A = this chain, B = another copy of it.
Amino acid sequence: MSKIKMGMVGGGAGAMIGGIHRMAARLDGEVDLVCGAFSSTPEKAKASAAKLGVAPERAYGSYQEMMAAEAALPAAERMDFVSIVTPNHMHAPVALAALAAGFHVLSDKPATRTVAEAQTIAAKVAETGLLYGLTHNYSAYPLISTARDKIADGALGTIRKICVDYLQGWLSEPAAPDNKQAAWRADPTLAGPAGAMGDIGSHAAQLAEAVTGHRLRRVSGHLSTIVDGRVLDDDAVVLFETDQQAKGILNVSQIATGEENGLSIRVYGTKGGLEWHQQDPNTLTLKWLDNSRTILRTGNDHAGVIAQSQSRVPSGHPEAFLEAFGNLYRNFAAKIRAVQAGEAAPATAIVPDIHDAVHGMAVIEAVVASSQHDHAWTEVKA
């Protein structure tokens, strides 16, 4: 099986998320990093390429150069898709350039800074027929498929209440001046109009939807900037209603001191509930009307066919963050192979798509708008 060839934009030396994408891409040996525009300066980009085993002639000084040069290569050599791991403001231009040049796109989240930007990508995707994927890695944990299956099968009855917490503490104090991760996330021109809401609230909303199959349709947002000197929100509480009449809460914070990456979801229906914690991702708890509970675990047949397809080792050998992230790369590679073979992608090759991307931006925009209007209920427009 030949490998799918990846080009990367962003992710140069010192970047956190680029390294994660690369480990995820490498894990299954199905994706090869063949080129990149890793940094904003050609010198840095070359240096990164050398470290990453990318040939110097394919270490490009800009994404525009990369698209042009790769498109000019023979089909058997040129990259198959572009992985975008830049700060948010570059997501749209890079994605548009890649699509225009004929390359599939796998982008870090949030998709863009605005709905309008995301819609330009959607239009290009529709026009080109190319694949677009968004790396909402948390919904790629195996047991999220199990949870989705249980709800789809009606095991929990009609869903009535959805609670997602996403609590981090790493911005409890003003970030150090040299913290690049914190710096661009705090700058509206780079990150977009939402801080914590855009960075992790977007994951929280997407997880609620991925688990339940509902869509957020109405939100009441309360964005707060707790730490002095910050421009964007570092705490966000969002009440929502879904297109299937469930109510819910997103409780999102980056000033929850002592929390690492505390994403969790609880869902309650007429027949049962469920609970899952990202920091203990191989356990899914189902809760029943009689107050007994069922514990399901990654890597077992009881988790269901899709969950099993997203799992690599025997149960009890914990699978975690990088494996879930790797599922997105493996699934996206499977979708590309299907396109290349003119076949339908397998049902297990789940990756959030451009519709999810546009909708996700619409959720963020609605929350920001609601918060600016005294948390008035605000429709999600896409």
Interchain CB contact under 8 A, A51 and B1: yes
Task: Tell me, in angstroms, the Cα distance from A222 to B170 when the chains sit together.
Answer: 30
Chain B residue contacts of A224, Cβ below 8 A:
247
Task: Tell me, in angstroms, the Cα distance from A161 to B259 when the chains sit together.
Answer: 13
0/1 per residue, A192-219, Cβ < 8 Å to B? 0000000000000000000000000000
Chain B residue contacts of A291, Cβ below 8 A:
169, 258, 260, 297, 300, 302, 315-316
In the assembled complex, the CB of A161 is this many whole angstroms from the nearest CB of chain B, namely 6
Question: Do A322 and B316 form a contact, CB below 8 Å, given A251-B249, A270-B172?
Answer: no
Task: Tell me, in angstroms, the Cα distance from A224 to B245 when the chains sit together.
Answer: 12
* Copies of this chain present: 4
Interchain CB contact under 8 A, B287 and A259: yes
Most B-side CB within 10 Å, residue of A290, A313, A316: A316
Question: Do A317 and B249 form a contact, CB below 8 Å, given A268-B256, A292-B297?
Answer: no
The answer, yes or no, to whether A331 is at the interface (CB within 8 Å) is no
Chain B residue contacts of A51, Cβ below 8 A:
1
Which single residue of chain B is at the shortest CB-CB distance from A1? B51
Chain B residue contacts of A268, Cβ below 8 A:
169, 172, 253, 255-259
Interchain CB contact under 8 A, A319 and B321: yes
Interchain CB contact under 8 A, B257 and A316: no
Task: Tell me, in angstroms, the Cα distance from A280 to B256 when the chains sit together.
Answer: 22
Among A24-32, A61-69, A73-81, A104-112, the one that faces the other chain is A24-32
The answer, yes or no, to whether A282 is at the interface (CB within 8 Å) is yes
In the assembled complex, the CB of A214 is this many whole angstroms from the nearest CB of chain B, namely 15
Task: Tell me, in angstroms, the Cα distance from A319 to B364 when the chains sit together.
Answer: 30
